[in-house]
Amino acid sequence: MAQFTKKAIMDAFIELISERAFDKITVKDIVTRCGINRNTFYYYFEDIYALVDEIFRTETQKIIGSETDYVSLQEAFLKGIEFAAIHKQAIFHIYKSISREQVEDYLNKVTYNNVLLFIKKETADIDAPEDDREFLAKFYTHALVGLLIEWLGSDMKGEPIEFISRLGVLFDGNIRYSLSKKQAKP
Amino acid sequence: MAQFTKKAIMDAFIELISERAFDKITVKDIVTRCGINRNTFYYYFEDIYALVDEIFRTETQKIIGSETDYVSLQEAFLKGIEFAAIHKQAIFHIYKSISREQVEDYLNKVTYNNVLLFIKKETADIDAPEDDREFLAKFYTHALVGLLIEWLGSDMKGEPIEFISRLGVLFDGNIRYSLSKKQAKP
DNA sequence: GGGGAGTGTGCGAAATTCGCACACTCCCCG
DNA sequence: CGGGGAGTGTGCGAATTTCGCACACTCCCC
């Protein structure tokens, strides 16, 4: 019940997708790589898409569920972009050949969660409704993910660190200001 | 039949032994760490000593079986000692609390194999009996392993690279000389 | 239009993993 | 000294997982 096999299948796919495009990967390739029976694959996954789905879900969970306590949002994003840079090939292959939608959805979820967490921490002392924080988080999420997607589209040119430093000026002070300004209205 | 579980058990032990001494590690610790039933452990291993044994055997095989094609013997040993430095804690705990014999045996086998391989390559053109090459390999193996054991005993003080560079002068030219000298006798 | 490669499914058999129970040792503590 | 707790190793049978084999189906290429 420890399902090491399931993990092995997922790892094998992650390996393969960083080597070649999705349409060049068969179920047989996957099971051969981890030395198991083809039927065992189908025991765990309905098909190869279900596998990709599960990988996205668990990878997202790894980040969302980790409750990482970053000092700044920039730092958090740097980590994220570094991760993206390391898995450049894999992300690129998935993005190009499987599901742009899924990649965007993944980035949105992960980003939104981190942004919201950060905003809540930064503005804990300001008495504003939750809705406002969530709206603010959505705003920044779309901005960031949009930039990330562009970065993906341009074959990830440029260093992550530069990308991040440019974001700096947009964040510092802005979030607190946005929230308290709305609050001052009535 | 892919036995991912067995590997997980071995990995868990390697993790644990790098954290604390052998006599502080129970079977329960191991199975808890990889989330399996205690009986599953006994399905694969007779006891914890059999596990250690197997780990030594497979780790040895990884190196011996890899037929690594090093340019020089020094380079090969540097790799080995770097490996030892990385797994410092684990090797140290095993060496101190389980089986000095097993560690020495492990080092001897791995070292002998690498040395013999190197000697054969270096002296392929010299017409000497295999016995002579094997004797020469044993000689150098004991010398090197002795130094390694001393290094282990002294808590692995000093940088691996220094250790290796000192060996350099002992090797260059010496091996060919030793073998051809014997050959010139009759 | 036939063959090769890949997919997805349906078995039953084999292998693996699990939970539970038991006997045994060791060691600590009152 | 005696009991209790923690760890070990074993013996099941049940549950789960993995495998091998067979089959129907699609797609594509020659």
Mutation target to probe the A interface, by most A beta carbons within 10 A, among B1, B3, B4, B30 is B4
C-alpha B110: how far from chain center? 5
Chain C: nucleotides below 7 Å from protein CB are: 5-11, 15-21
Of A12 and A133, more confident: A12
Range of the domain at B114: 47-184
B44 interaction partners in chain A (CB closer than 8 Å)? none
pTM of the model: 0.77
**pLDDT of A27-80, one tens digit each?**
999 999 999 999 999 999 999 989 998 998 888 787 766 666 666 666 767 777
Asked if residue A27 keeps its beta carbon closer than 7 A to nucleic acid strand D, the reply is no
**A12 lies in the same domain as A104:** no
Provide the 10 A C-beta neighbour count for residue A64: 15
Q: How far is B61 from chain A (nearest CA, A)?
A: 20
Indicate if the pLDDT at residue B92 is higher than 70. Answer: yes
Q: Does B4 touch chain A (CB under 8 A)?
A: yes
What's the pLDDT band for B33 if we cut at 50, 70, 90? very high
Q: Does A34 touch chain B (CB under 8 A)?
A: yes
User: How much is the pLDDT for B1?
Assistant: 59
How far does the CA of A34 sit from the C1' of C8, in Å? 20
3-state secondary structure chain A: CCCHHHHHHHHHHHHHHCCCCHHHCCHHHHHHHCCCCHHHHHHHCCCHHHHHHHHHHHHHHHHHCCCCCCCCHHHHHHHHHHHHHHCHHHHHHHHHHCCHHHHHHHHHHHHHHHHHHHHHHHCCCCCCCHHHHHHHHHHHHHHHHHHHHHHHHCCCCCCHHHHHHHHHHHHCCHHHHHHHHHHHCC
What's the pLDDT band for B40 if we cut at 50, 70, 90? very high
In chain B, positions 35-64 with C-beta closer than 7 Å to nucleic chain D are 38-39, 42, 46-48
Of B4 and A132, more confident: B4
Q: What are phi and psi of B18, to 5 degrees?
A: -85, -10
Give the tokens for residue A59.
């990878």
**pLDDT of A77-103, one tens digit each?**
777 777 777 877 787 787 777 667 777
**A118 lies in the same domain as A89:** yes
Give which of B165, B173, B153 is closest to B78, Cα–Cα.
B165
User: How much is the pLDDT for B185?
Assistant: 45
Mean pLDDT score across all residues of chain A: 79
**A87 lies in the same domain as A33:** no
B4 interaction partners in chain A (CB closer than 8 Å)? 4-5, 7-8
Of B131 and A32, more confident: A32
Of B163 and A45, more confident: A45
Which range, of A53-57, A171-175, B107-111, averages the lowest pLDDT?
A171-175
**B65 lies in the same domain as B126:** yes
3-state class of B82 per DSSP?
Answer: helix
Quote the CA–CA distance of A52 and A98 in Å, as a whole number.
Answer: 9
User: How much is the pLDDT for B172?
Assistant: 60
- List Cβ neighbours of A71 (8 Å cut-off, separation of 6 or more): none
**A100 lies in the same domain as A145:** yes
Mean pLDDT score across all residues of chain B: 80
Of B168 and A142, more confident: A142
**B55 lies in the same domain as B25:** no
CATH code (residue B4): 1.10.10.60
Rg over CA atoms, chain A: 19
**A29 lies in the same domain as A54:** no
Q: Does B69 touch chain A (CB under 8 A)?
A: no
**pLDDT of B49-83, one tens digit each?**
899 989 988 887 877 666 666 666 667 777 777 77
User: How much is the pLDDT for A29?
Assistant: 96
**Of residues B2, B34, B35, nearest to A5 (C-beta):** B2
**Cβ A133 vs Cβ A120: under 8 Å:** yes
User: How much is the pLDDT for B112?
Assistant: 84
A4 interaction partners in chain B (CB closer than 8 Å)? 4-5, 7-8
Quote the CA–CA distance of A12 and A30 in Å, as a whole number.
Answer: 6
**Cβ A103 vs Cβ A95: under 8 Å:** yes
Quote the CA–CA distance of B91 and B21 in Å, as a whole number.
Answer: 11
- Return residues 7-26 of A near B (CB < 8 Å): 7-8
Q: Does B2 touch chain A (CB under 8 A)?
A: yes
**B10 lies in the same domain as B79:** no
Give which of B119, B126, B131, B134 is closest to B73, Cα–Cα.
B119
Q: How far is A70 from chain B (nearest CA, A)?
A: 27
- The number of folded domains in chain A is 2
Of A44 and B170, more confident: A44
**B76 lies in the same domain as B35:** no
In chain A, positions 31-90 with C-beta closer than 7 Å to nucleic chain D are 35-40, 43-44
**A85 lies in the same domain as A6:** no
**B22 lies in the same domain as B57:** no
**A80 lies in the same domain as A118:** yes
Q: Tell me the range of B23-27, B41-45, B132-136 where mean pLDDT is highest.
A: B41-45
Indicate if the pLDDT at residue A20 is higher than 50. Answer: yes
